[in-house]
Amino acid sequence: MFGNAIQRVISRFKNPQKVVNLCFIVVFIFSTVLTWREAVVLEGAYVANQRNSLDSVATLLDRQLQHNIDNLLFYRNSMLYALQSPISTDKTRKTLADFDSLRTQPYWQLRLDLNRSLPMNGVSDEFVNNSPLLDRDEQTIHTELSSALELSYIMRLSHQTQTLPQRMFYASRSGFFLTSTPPSNDPQIVALYYRLVAQPYFSSQSPENNPRRELKWTHTFNPNMSSGQIITAAIPLDYNGRWYGVLALDYPIDSLHTFLRQAHNNEQHEGTVLLYDNELNPIATSAKSLPKHPLFTAPQLARIASVVTAAKQGAQGELRMDSRFITWAKLNNYDGLLIKVHTLEEGVQGEFGRISVVLSVLWLLSTLMLFVSWVVIRHLVSNMFSLQQTLTWRANYDTLTRLYNRGAFFEVASKLSQECQQQGQPFSVIQMDLDLFKSINDRYGHSSGDKVLAHAAAMLSDAFRHDDVAGRVGGEEFCIVLPDTSLEEATKVAERIRVRINSKELLLKQGSTVRISASFGVSSAFEFNDYDFERLQSYADHRLYKAKQDGRNRVCNTD
């Protein structure tokens, strides 16, 4: 029932194949849009995953840096309190006395209470006097030394974190330093102090270079360190308008490498996380080592810089570069950038890549199946359509003569007669019957009779005009309706047909020929003032009977 309904709908369209094509195109577009939608959702999840992955590393690093910076600020505050109200104890007095006796030595170390404090390491007055950045002020040096002694107790308590090893130190402009990794008492102290005050982090804390007296990060290359590169966070120590020195912590790059590797790999994320300084120089990586060749070209770095410069601290974002997906995050506690690089290859091998591949394969499979079913259904519909056309033709036409059959002919003829009546046009009917057809059947057989019928129908079709319509209304009886044709004209047409039919011999089987003839009866609407087709046909049939009576092979148009 449902199938019939579909068939009826399809049959309304002139070309059902176009309907099938349209349906399949709609289904294809629909499935493609659905797959595309899935892909968009998947992409959103992928971006969120990349962001989360970098965010987790950035948060861990930020938390660790925050802890260290808090320590640094605590040490500065401790120094400030101590400078405001220095404590005078036997130990401090001894420290100051030792200093006064050692201050001219090239290097010195005050090792007062090594179980509880760190040693103070210093250089000579001469060394200090030779450097314009340094100043051993006689009025403040003793206060500073006793404050540094207090700091040495506190700094001794600072323990090295395993997650991100770093070194804390106080480098004084008065020619001494405290460090959480103390040296032995040897000439190395001079070189160490020199290096501390010669580094950019130190000079960058002068009042001219750091007027806002804020924490600054610097990235330096240290040939004497095994790891080479160091990043340093430094804050100045000022009291009563005097710049005393710098409190700083530095991280060997190796410790950052290890930290990034652990933080990134613990989460089992794909891709590589890199730490860049504020000039977009790579510092550390979660990979085994920093890439030998730069990861980004100059224009790509400029593109990253332009996006990042506008962003606030802690902000993050992402961008696509050739086949790589880049996620970046600004750290809250470091003036630099974390960048995660996810290559296409890593992406394909990862979870999202596998889902994308499955999604693509499913889409391809569904498209292939859709295509196959489109071919099959198109073929079926094409067969159904041609079958329907054949059935429709057979319902209206006589297969032997290819003229209208009786039912269809009566329908068409009645319609034509009504049209002629409405337009006041003449309308004529010719009734034709083959003469002595039974004898042909009897003599040559039924199939030869069929051949004669087909031949007579062809003669008939060739003889009448374009607007005339003919049909086979009985065994060997034919009828022709002639719109806009008078009785005289119709009689002429009938005569023409008669002559044509009778003019040629027809070759039948076994080489025998036969000349056939037909009799005609003609009637017209005007003479009876009647447009009813069935009555006009019976008048014509009556005249046909008369033609037979009068000797056959003739046209009769009168009663």
d(CA 208, CA 218): 17
The string of DSSP codes covering 89-147 is -HHHHHHHHHHHHHTTSSEEEE-S-TTTSPPEEEE-HHHHHT-TT----TTTHHHHHHH
Tell me the two tokens of residue 546.
């008369």
Q: In terms of DSSP H, where are the helices of 397-436?
A: 406-423
To ligand GTP, the closest distance from the beta carbon of 403 in angstroms equals 12
3-state secondary structure of 242: strand
548 makes contact with ligand GTP (CB under 6 A): yes
Of 71 and 517, which CB lies nearer to ligand GTP in the complex structure?
517
Contacts 24+ apart (CB under 8 A), 235-243: 235/72, 235/73, 235/76, 235/205, 236/205, 236/206, 236/207, 236/210, 237/76, 237/79, 237/80, 237/170, 238/207, 238/213, 239/80, 239/83, 239/84, 240/83, 242/137, 242/140, 243/173, 243/205, 243/206, 243/207
To ligand GTP, the closest distance from the beta carbon of 431 in angstroms equals 12
Query: In the window 130-169, what residues touch ligand GTP (CB under 6 A)?
Result: none
401 makes contact with ligand GTP (CB under 6 A): no
78's CB contacts (< 8 A; 6+ apart) are 150, 151, 154
- Site map 68..107 versus ligand GTP, x via CB under 6 A: ----------------------------------------
547 makes contact with ligand GTP (CB under 6 A): no
To ligand GTP, the closest distance from the beta carbon of 459 in angstroms equals 16
Of 137 and 442, which CB lies nearer to ligand GTP in the complex structure?
442
DSSP letter, residue 505:
E
3-state secondary structure of 230: strand
- Site map 430..469 versus ligand GTP, x via CB under 6 A: ---xxxxxx--x----x--xx--x----------------
Of 438 and 515, which CB lies nearer to ligand GTP in the complex structure?
438
Of 250 and 476, which CB lies nearer to ligand GTP in the complex structure?
476
Tell me the two tokens of residue 112.
């007062």
d(CA 55, CA 49): 10
Q: Rule CB under 6 A: choose which of 150, 270, 476, 541 binds ligand GTP.
A: 476
Of 98 and 477, which CB lies nearer to ligand GTP in the complex structure?
477
Of 354 and 438, which CB lies nearer to ligand GTP in the complex structure?
438
To ligand GTP, the closest distance from the beta carbon of 434 in angstroms equals 6
- The CB density around residue 281, as the number of other CB atoms within 10 Å, is 13
DSSP letter, residue 509:
G
272's CB contacts (< 8 A; 6+ apart) are 264, 285, 286, 287, 340, 341
**Are 508 and 543 a contacting pair, CB within 8 Å?**
no
Number of amino acids touching ligand GTP (CB under 6 A): 15
To ligand GTP, the closest distance from the beta carbon of 538 in angstroms equals 17
- Site map 22..51 versus ligand GTP, x via CB under 6 A: ------------------------------
Of 252 and 449, which CB lies nearer to ligand GTP in the complex structure?
449
Q: Rule CB under 6 A: choose which of 44, 106, 207, 475 binds ligand GTP.
A: 475
**Are 230 and 202 a contacting pair, CB within 8 Å?**
no
Tell me the two tokens of residue 280.
């977009």
- Active site residue ranges: 476
To ligand GTP, the closest distance from the beta carbon of 442 in angstroms equals 7
To ligand GTP, the closest distance from the beta carbon of 516 in angstroms equals 10
Q: Which residues bind ligand GTP (CB under 6 A)?
A: 433-438, 441, 446, 449-450, 453, 475-476, 548, 552
